[in-house]
Structure 1
Amino acid sequence: MRKFLQRALNRVVITAIIVLLQVGFFLLEILRWGNYYVGIAFVLRLLSFCAVVYIIWRPNNPAVKLAWVVPILTFPLFGGVMYLFFGHVIVPRKLRDSMERTNALVQKNLVQDEEVQKELAQTDQAVANQSGYLLSYAGTPVWNHTASTYFPEGLPYWETLLADLEKAQHFIFLEYFILAEGTMWNAVLEILQRKAKEGVEVRLIYDDVGSVFLLPKKYHETIEKKGIKCVAFNRLVPFMSLVLNNRDHRKIVVIDGKVGYTGGINMSDEYINYRHPYGEHWKDSGIRIEGEAVWNFTVMFLQMWNMSRYTEEDYGRYRYHFKEPLMAKGYVQPYMDTPFDEEIVGENVYLNMIGNARKYVYIYTPYLVTDNEMITALKLASKRGVDVRIVTPGVPDKKFVYWLTQSNYQNLIEAGVGIYQYTPGFIHSKCVLCDDELATVGTINFDYRSFYHHFECGVFLYQADAIRTLKKDMEETFAVSEKITLEWCRDKFVKINIVGPILKLFSPLL
């Protein structure tokens, strides 16, 4: 029943319902229900017209504008309604006010150490420029003296996380897109309950839509009764949620301000391969950091918490002051992206890395549903001699999105890009690696959802400990994946050359 509801209420089905409603209005016209039809149709068409004008006026990517304008004009009666719900046109005043208040606190608490910035610039000016972009547009400083550990699978991530949670003495912050009852989450919850009883402050944020079919109703109230402070982010209220498209897709854990985690891994049993919903294996990635850079994650979590439940202005009491600097290589810069500004930080980080790559760019992504700028950047990198490789799933979790992903293969392969499908099953990792020294690991998919609609986060790494392990994992993944050829694409002509381009018209909704 739960799986049926998930499928029945996803964005594709909702879009199909809107199309059916459009047809229904035409039937009403045929049946000469003119008095009702004319007035309602006028209002809806006016809304669609206003939506198109607004889209053209906004300083957005032209490809995104076109992808919205086409379905709105194709279905003018309900196109405007569709954009109102999925295009985050209206930001409620309460949410906007809380964002402005929390942004001021972020700026106050996240301050760049100028010596670290100068040191990075002396090492590599191009990397310093990328880091400076994140400081200017995401508001997050770069740090040294921070150890990083990359996890190529969900199971070692989970096991290490459990051990770190057991050591917590002061506070634990957790933020996840998906929570699902089962072995993975229950083990974490048991420790959280026990720590809360010991006097450790425990806070949890989960996305209400991401977990809506996986948790009991009003689960946040159940968690509160266990002594854990809990927020269900942007709660889904049917017919009233005008920002339901903007989800908290981040995965963050902070323990005592000393240790932080992020990556693609949610709290559900498939992420540790205790369940196998798509193929024989679910591959995901995570990263653990320890040191000064954890402060970025602490502030990022508190910002999201205060957006939902404003509780404090003193972030400083959650900052850990290390007595001795950690002896760790490289630079670490946790960063965030929000859908409520005009800066597409997540995509721009990827574009900058691809554009500056000299030898190779390796990419993990579960979805390749992106704009012309990204496709062009990948092709140009390959054409100038960079070894560009992308790993996508061998078994899909969403078929329409999978077909749309595959529709990009031929164009990229013809430019020399290597496309690999993960044969054992589904890959959910979101990682980019360049030239043995630059990487990012986080929550940001190569799709419109992550680039334009979700709250996201990642860790930007330069010459850090985790990079070597990430490269080893990627090389091993290529070895067990199928390299896609032009012949493979031609054998799937209908899916790639007919179905795919049609789906691209509706790509913002997928």
Structure 2
Amino acid sequence: MRVEQKTATKNSIVRLFFVVLLIALQFVWIYYLITFLESHVPWLSTVITSGALVLALTISARHMNASYRMFWIIMVLVFPVLGIPFYAIMGRRNSTKRMRVRFEKVDHMLFGRLKQQQEVMERLEKEDLRAAGTSNYLLKTCRFPVYQNTDVQFFPDAALAFEAQLKDLESAEQFIFMEYFAIERNGAFQRVLEILKRKAAQGVEIRITYDDIGSITFLDSRFTREMESYGIHCQRFNPVLPFLNIFMNNRDHRKIMVIDGKIGYTGGYNMANEYFHLTQPYGFWKDTGVRLQGDAVRTLTVICMEMWGLMSENINIERGERFLTAVPYHAKETGYVQPYADSPLDDEPTGEEVYMNILRTAKNYAWFVTPYLLITDEMKREFVGAAKRGVDVRIITPGIPDKKMVYQETRSYYAGLVRGGVRIYEYTPGFCHAKMSIADDVSATVGTINLDYRSLYLHFENGVLFHHCKIVEEIHQDFETMFSESREVTDHYRKGAQNIVQRSVRAMLRFVAPLL
């Protein structure tokens, strides 16, 4: 099996290489076709220039993030021969129309199954009106209910979450849903697979969704056939194809496991060895996760069904009703739990809005940890605005990068933030992949959503919002531990200790940040 996996990995990397090469060749062909026509049709240059101006004005009027608008306007005006076709392929909303229609159809069938218990929201509003504001946004705008009657367990290390998942998988009787950005066939996942094969033989329905790009260095298309041979339903999300296609840019970055609709797991970690310290390519890999048991698992189940339906040939909601049957449970926890998801197809920046609400409502402190820091001007203003109000605002980023270019991009944001009063820490033991926030010992989030353009605008993501739960105290302690293991770089970047070369490189990286 190890030899087969090495072959599969090699084949996948070769496939990715040829896909990138063919897409690049398509851009080159478009560029040379237009330049050739320009040289042979004298009036074409005037048409292109006029078209670029009209398109730039059209983009400026679009309801989209200001950084995205600026990027496309500059591309179209400065490099019209490349910018116009590039925008036509990558920038237009209608370029994903087919998937948007399908997404809306699936959500219309599924999200009606999520009902808000009014007494829960009323209790939250009476107990904490500020916290209820964010929950009302997730409910009224995004259709994600807030729950009580849910016990929560926090894992400060993904390896601890993984061991708990193995135990819970053994208890599965009806179904297991797994949705992960990356799955590595050998190592840790092998332990999961042995349980899944036994459960499939016992009649448990198992569905695995994995992202083709996220897993491309680990798996090839034979993985789905292997899973099906064990009686495990499996599908790749958004297979990489050698054609210019904007939807290829939208990846499934979610990480969820649901067992019988009773137990749910999520967090920042994938099903790959580095998350569980079986390999250490970038020092100690820090990641976190949560386990939910009770009513709130229903939303995680719907999120998994949403993605399965989006990529399936057809979706039979009536057949899926058994996955949404209420499971009696009496929780010890009295706090509020609200799982939510984000999609690039609905034009609602759910993940960003939750983070910004955390900053807007914080009174004493608001702390964040993210592996990548590539934020919009709007979010930067929220960070700085909270700090100027006297809120203790801190951000932890990795001390050892996994992607050097993105690491330089991350550091390019430090100076503007620290001059506004934000404190920046770098996690020295290694790469910190956790995605969490916490404010005032009241509210916290754990999930898959990075503070970068891809997570906030281009990827399918998920998270969980907590109010007045015991887990908030545990997350606070985990932040304190991370601070003690990190170096604070606030003063260094407040002084602007960057040479002209660093500033120039980072300025260029900031320009292309919306595509990173």
How does the TM-score come out when normalised to structure 2?
0.90
1:362 counterpart SS class? strand
Correspondence 1:432 to 2:456: no
- In the superposition, relative to structure 1, how do residues 459 and 88 fare at CA in structure 2: closer, same or farther (>3 Å)? farther
Q: How does 1:97-112 map to 2 (within 5 A)?
A: 97-112=101-116
Between the aligned partners of 2:248 and 2:49, the Cα distance in structure 1 is 23
Contact 1:109/1:316, CA 8 A, preserved across alignment: no
Between the aligned partners of 1:107 and 1:27, the Cα distance in structure 2 is 46
> Which residue of structure 2 lines up, in the alignment, with residue 360 of structure 1?
365
Aligned mate of 1:215, from 206, 209, 219 = 219
1:343 counterpart SS class? coil
2:333 counterpart SS class? coil
> Which residue of structure 2 lines up, in the alignment, with residue 114 of structure 1?
118
Aligned mate of 2:511, from 502, 505, 510 = 505
Contact 1:419/1:484, CA 8 A, preserved across alignment: yes
Aligned mate of 2:348, from 330, 343, 348 = 343
- In the superposition, relative to structure 1, how do residues 307 and 48 fare at CA in structure 2: closer, same or farther (>3 Å)? farther
The alpha carbon displacement at 1:179 in A equals 1.3
With 239-248 and 461-470 compared, the bigger mean Cα shift is at 239-248
How does the TM-score come out when normalised to structure 1?
0.91
Contact 2:26/2:244, CA 8 A, preserved across alignment: no
- In the superposition, relative to structure 1, how do residues 411 and 293 fare at CA in structure 2: closer, same or farther (>3 Å)? same
> Which residue of structure 1 lines up, in the alignment, with residue 298 of structure 2?
295
Q: How does 1:303-318 map to 2 (within 5 A)?
A: 303-309=306-312, 310-314=314-318, 315-318=320-323
Amino acid at match of 1:407: S
Amino acid at match of 2:459: H
> Which residue of structure 1 lines up, in the alignment, with residue 131 of structure 2?
127
> Which residue of structure 1 lines up, in the alignment, with residue 3 of structure 2?
none
Between the aligned partners of 2:439 and 2:46, the Cα distance in structure 1 is 53
Q: How does 1:383-394 map to 2 (within 5 A)?
A: 383-394=388-399
2:81 counterpart SS class? coil
Correspondence 1:235 to 2:239: yes
Contact 1:147/1:289, CA 8 A, preserved across alignment: yes
2:249 counterpart SS class? coil
> Which residue of structure 2 lines up, in the alignment, with residue 474 of structure 1?
479
Aligned mate of 1:269, from 270, 273, 277 = 273
The alpha carbon displacement at 1:69 in A equals 2.1
- In the superposition, relative to structure 1, how do residues 445 and 47 fare at CA in structure 2: closer, same or farther (>3 Å)? farther
- In the superposition, relative to structure 1, how do residues 47 and 17 fare at CA in structure 2: closer, same or farther (>3 Å)? farther
> Which residue of structure 1 lines up, in the alignment, with residue 461 of structure 2?
456
Contact 2:103/2:345, CA 8 A, preserved across alignment: no
Between the aligned partners of 1:19 and 1:312, the Cα distance in structure 2 is 38
List per-residue Cα deviations over 1:155-211 (Å, max 9, x = no partner). Answer: 101111111111111100010111122212221122111111110000011111221
2:246 counterpart SS class? coil
> Which residue of structure 2 lines up, in the alignment, with residue 487 of structure 1?
492
With 216-225 and 324-333 compared, the bigger mean Cα shift is at 216-225
Amino acid at match of 2:433: H
Contact 2:362/2:386, CA 8 A, preserved across alignment: yes
The alpha carbon displacement at 1:5 in A equals 8.6
Between the aligned partners of 1:205 and 1:329, the Cα distance in structure 2 is 33
Between the aligned partners of 2:330 and 2:364, the Cα distance in structure 1 is 33
Contact 2:156/2:287, CA 8 A, preserved across alignment: yes
Amino acid at match of 1:420: Y
Q: How does 1:47-62 map to 2 (within 5 A)?
A: 52-62=56-66
Between the aligned partners of 2:32 and 2:112, the Cα distance in structure 1 is 53
> Which residue of structure 2 lines up, in the alignment, with residue 181 of structure 1?
185
Aligned mate of 2:285, from 282, 301, 305 = 282
Contact 2:211/2:237, CA 8 A, preserved across alignment: yes
Contact 1:363/1:390, CA 8 A, preserved across alignment: yes
Between the aligned partners of 1:118 and 1:464, the Cα distance in structure 2 is 17
Amino acid at match of 2:231: G
Contact 1:181/1:214, CA 8 A, preserved across alignment: yes
Between the aligned partners of 1:20 and 1:202, the Cα distance in structure 2 is 41
Contact 1:162/1:188, CA 8 A, preserved across alignment: yes
Q: CA RMSD in A?
A: 3.1
List per-residue Cα deviations over 1:453-492 (Å, max 9, x = no partner). Answer: 1111100100112211111111011111110033356443
The alpha carbon displacement at 1:123 in A equals 0.3
Amino acid at match of 2:233: K
Amino acid at match of 2:172: A
